[in-house]
């Protein structure tokens, strides 16, 4: 995003909805200002000439970190479900999806 592009009220509500966050109506403006300030700060970077710099997706200069395809023990079902508030039939029971 370019420097100086302000976040609109709609942007805030949209992002909040995507993140399943509820922002009280009287705080939307405050969040709007905060997000705009963050973007503005990040936008400072684009004032530099970065044409020689490779995009960085990771801070470490490491590639190809992977493991052998060898099974390790899993949790027991009881352990897996220990934090489930409403387990049923060996599964995590959740409110109906798709409705």
Interface residues toward another protein, by CB under 8 A: 14, 17-18, 20, 57-58, 60, 62-72, 74-77, 80-81, 88-99
Kindly tell me which of 39 and 80 has the beta carbon lying closer to another protein. 80
Q: How far is the CB of 73 from another protein (least distance, A)?
A: 8
Give the whole-angstrom CA distance, residue 79 versus residue 87: 12
Question: Residue 13: which of 5, 4, 21 has the closest Cα?
Answer: 21
Q: Please name the helix (run of DSSP H) or strand (run of DSSP E) that holds residue 77, with its range, or none.
A: helix 77-80
Neighbour tally for 12: CB within 10 Å: 22
* Contact (CB, 8 A) for 75 and 69: no
Q: How far is the CB of 68 from another protein (least distance, A)?
A: 6
Q: How far is the CB of 42 from another protein (least distance, A)?
A: 13
The pair of three-digit structure tokens given for residue 13, joined into one six-digit string: 């509500």
Kindly tell me which of 51 and 99 has the beta carbon lying closer to another protein. 99
Kindly tell me which of 51 and 76 has the beta carbon lying closer to another protein. 76
């Amino acid at each position: 995003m370019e420097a100086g592009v302000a976040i609109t009220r709609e942007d805030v509500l949209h992002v909040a909805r995507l993140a399943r966050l509820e922002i009280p109506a009287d705080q939307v403006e405050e969040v709007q200002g905060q997000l705009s300030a963050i973007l503005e700060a990040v936008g400072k970077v684009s004032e530099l000439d970065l044409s020689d710099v490779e995009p960085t997706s990771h801070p470490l200069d490491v590639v190809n970190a992977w493991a052998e395809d060898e099974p390790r023990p899993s949790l027991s079902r009881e352990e897996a479900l220990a934090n489930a508030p409403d387990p049923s039939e060996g599964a995590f029971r959740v409110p109906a999806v798709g409705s």
